[in-house]
Structure 1
Amino acid sequence: MWTKLVPVTALIASVALTGATAHAEPTTPVGGKALGSRGLVAPEGVKKPPKSKATSYVIADADTGQVLAAKDAHGRYLPASTLKTLTALTLIQKLDKERKVRPSQNACNQEGSAVGLTPKVTYKVDDLFKALMMSSGNDAAMALAETNGGVPKTMSDMNAEAKRLQAYDTVAKTPSGLDEPGQSSSAYDLALIARAGLANPDFKRYISTKTAKFPAPKGHYEISNHNKLLWRYEGMVGVKNGWTSKAQASFVGAATRGGHTIVVSIMRHEGFFWDEVASLLDWGFSVRGKVTPVGQLVDPVPAGGLAASQQRPGGSPAPGASGAASVTPAAQPPLLGAAAAKQTDDTRMVGSLVIGGGLLFGLLWLGFGIRRRRRRSST
């Protein structure tokens, strides 16, 4: 029987879990108190955002970081290939894009979506990033991870980058986003990562490229971007879509109009979402600068310092995060969601919090079992 989760951003003072101590996190939801709601949080005085079948979403002004509306913003779900945004942002800063790489057979044999790497060809790191963000290549993700020193090191680097960004809902277990017990992200974190990526010229170039020539054993072939809105939506900058059978559809995208950029992220959508995302972007452009935000996409942790939310436990939420927003309660799945909760029978959430002699039971992810070959796709 599952116990209802407290928000992942709640401060856990002391947790006894097979001798391990939990990482202390802010006492209030990152970005503002209102973002802790599982239901719709929208500004007053304007029409509510268009309906979406997504379990979770965020609409934000990328320029100011203001969250304009959200639904279950910090709900933790399987990210599928939207996790590649974190892979790219992390490794772009570490790998020379002109470096030449001959991929291993292991990288070339990755399941799911692939660009078609072969050990017979030497690729530039720049090519691999195009394959990662345009064609959602799981083979490219593994090749980049191996170039960075291997999967364990890359996972450590990605999770460190997530903490730096204050993306505390995100736990990376694979460089590709293929489902793995304990892996998670949230609509808030995807928007946060995308906003950071947009500030990186190379990241922005990769997500914005529609078609490109890609090296082959004999010459080149053309690859195209999986983000359909690059062709359909005026001002679309790009970013990343994802899908696995357990995660269902996820997407984070950004568009620029009139010198302003709006970011929309969705998680756990049952199917075709492109038109819904376009409507959410339209709504974002129509209300930006006219409403009190319901929260804030926070800035990265300063070098050598703690996040402000950790320095001031119980600190004030973002401007407009309470009082100015209308909150529609809704019964949503636990923070890790039905998708993650059902990944494996061997996955359990355990933990105990001891305060003044009283015992409160919380939940933490602990993945057990062995890695096994996956038979589902990630795009």
Structure 2
Amino acid sequence: MWTKILPVTALIASVSLTGGTAHAEPTTPVGGEALGSRGLVAPVGVKKPPKSKATSYVIADVETGQVLAAKNAHGRFLPASTLKSLTALTLIPKLDKERKIRPSQNACNQEGSAVGLTPKVTYKVDDLFKGLLMSSGNDAAMALAETNGGLAQTMRDMNAEARRLQANDTVAKTPSGLDKPGQSSSAYDLALIARAGLANPDFRRYISTKTTKFPAPKGKHYEISNHNKLLWRYEGMLGVKNGWTTKAQASFVGAASRGGHTIVVSIMRHEGYFWEEVAGLLDWGFSVRGKAAPVGQLVDPLPVTALAAPQQQASAAPAASVTPAAQPPLLERAAREQDDSTKTVGSAVIGGGLLFGLIWLGYGIRRKRARSRS
């Protein structure tokens, strides 16, 4: 059997006030109770996964969604550039890849990794997605966000897409993954996002391209290469995304196909060079798929009707419905919701008092006029 250690906060139900009714928020982790463990969760009867220095990881079968092994699957960490996989998944269906744009100076001046955008060149949206997923261009991320109607609109779209996927550990604050307070994801969510992305032909094309020509000024081009080293080293590698910042440390999500089957591996907070470790985790996934009981499940996206009417969905949801394991950010959200409820009640009291005062003032005026006429 696997060892299950739930964090203490997972035992605390957060309470929100909606329409005067208190609702306890379920604490069962998305994908299964075992995925609430912060330690290794692996099947019995087969060899354990190879050791990894990653603080968190997930190994899953893309076709079935079965989680084959995990370590701190729902731990919330800074995602770094792995968040660009959500940016791409969100924006590919929204933007015409043949559309031509000139990036703003703001987009071209983004800090960190860049593909080299300049306002002097007209790019296709298709070029920007290559720059985003191959060269991890923060400039391409901002240019795509601005093309989508602006940064605020893109953040709303990305977070809505995360909710649709039930990637509830994920909070996007930037389109690039550059560190920002409150931004987070988890190894489980990165696997969900990758699985959804692999079903999109354009997403799959971008992540698997090794090298391509990229537009430069005066009609010239230069070559860019995919940052995913396993595209050259691992048999059947499809790609997805790697990331790194000083605060986030190294992160990665990637998938490979062999013998008609696809395995996805996601890792977060790795201290350094992880390529061989990821290859070992992929090898292990291929060796045990179909031979051992899964420890969890990559859930399917929510139907559109559920997103359009979240309150009705919550009231009609069966007892087995799940949400992420409660962790400090979840409790903070509950506190904010309680504060908002308090503000709403306070506003109602103030508004009621003003209304009563106006009625009383009108009554007094009418009495005064009546006395003056008599």
Q: Does 1:232 align with 2:233?
A: yes
The amino acid that maps onto 2:45 is G
The amino acid that maps onto 2:247 is K
- Structure 1 distance, partners of 2:162, 2:125, is 22
- Structure 2 distance, partners of 1:129, 1:137, is 9
C-alpha offsets along residues 132-162 of structure 1, whole Å, 9 cap, x if unaligned?
0000000000000000000000000000000
Asked if structure 1 preserves the Cα contact closer than 8 Å seen for 2:79 and 2:243, the reply is: yes
Residues 239, 264 of structure 1: alpha-carbon distance in 2 compared, 3 angstrom cutoff: same
In structure 1, the residue matched to 2:367 is none
Residues 45, 183 of structure 1: alpha-carbon distance in 2 compared, 3 angstrom cutoff: same
Task: Find the residue that maps to 1:264 and give its secondary structure.
Answer: strand
In structure 2, the residue matched to 1:77 is 77
Residues 93, 314 of structure 1: alpha-carbon distance in 2 compared, 3 angstrom cutoff: same
- Structure 2 distance, partners of 1:132, 1:40, is 33
Q: Does 1:14 align with 2:35?
A: no
Task: Find the residue that maps to 2:106 and give its secondary structure.
Answer: helix
Q: Which moved more, 1:119-128 or 1:302-311?
A: 302-311
Aligned-pair CA distance for 1:27: 3.5
The amino acid that maps onto 1:13 is V
The amino acid that maps onto 2:123 is Y
- Structure 1 distance, partners of 2:28, 2:277, is 30
In structure 1, the residue matched to 2:52 is 52
- Superposition map of 1:143-162 within 5 A: 143-162=143-162
In structure 1, the residue matched to 2:214 is 214
In structure 1, the residue matched to 2:288 is 287
The amino acid that maps onto 1:211 is T
Task: Find the residue that maps to 1:14 and give its secondary structure.
Answer: strand
- Superposition map of 1:130-279 within 5 A: 130-218=130-218, 219-279=220-280
Kindly tell me the number of residue pairs found equivalent between the two proteins: 320
C-alpha offsets along residues 253-272 of structure 1, whole Å, 9 cap, x if unaligned?
00000000000000000000
In structure 2, the residue matched to 1:36 is 36
C-alpha offsets along residues 190-232 of structure 1, whole Å, 9 cap, x if unaligned?
0000000000000000000000000000310000000000000
Aligned-pair CA distance for 1:235: 0.3
- Structure 1 distance, partners of 2:22, 2:168, is 13
Aligned-pair CA distance for 1:312: 3.8
- Structure 1 distance, partners of 2:226, 2:182, is 29
Identity %: 80
Root mean square deviation, CA, Å: 2.7
How high is the TM-score relative to the length of structure 2? 0.80
Asked if structure 2 preserves the Cα contact closer than 8 Å seen for 1:7 and 1:335, the reply is: no
Greater share of residues in helix: 2
- Structure 2 distance, partners of 1:92, 1:353, is 33
In structure 1, the residue matched to 2:88 is 88
Could you say which structure has the greater relative contact order, defined with CA pairs below 8 angstroms and 6 or more residues apart?
A: 1
- Structure 2 distance, partners of 1:70, 1:23, is 30
In structure 1, the residue matched to 2:357 is none
Asked if structure 2 preserves the Cα contact closer than 8 Å seen for 1:13 and 1:353, the reply is: no
Larger Rg: 2
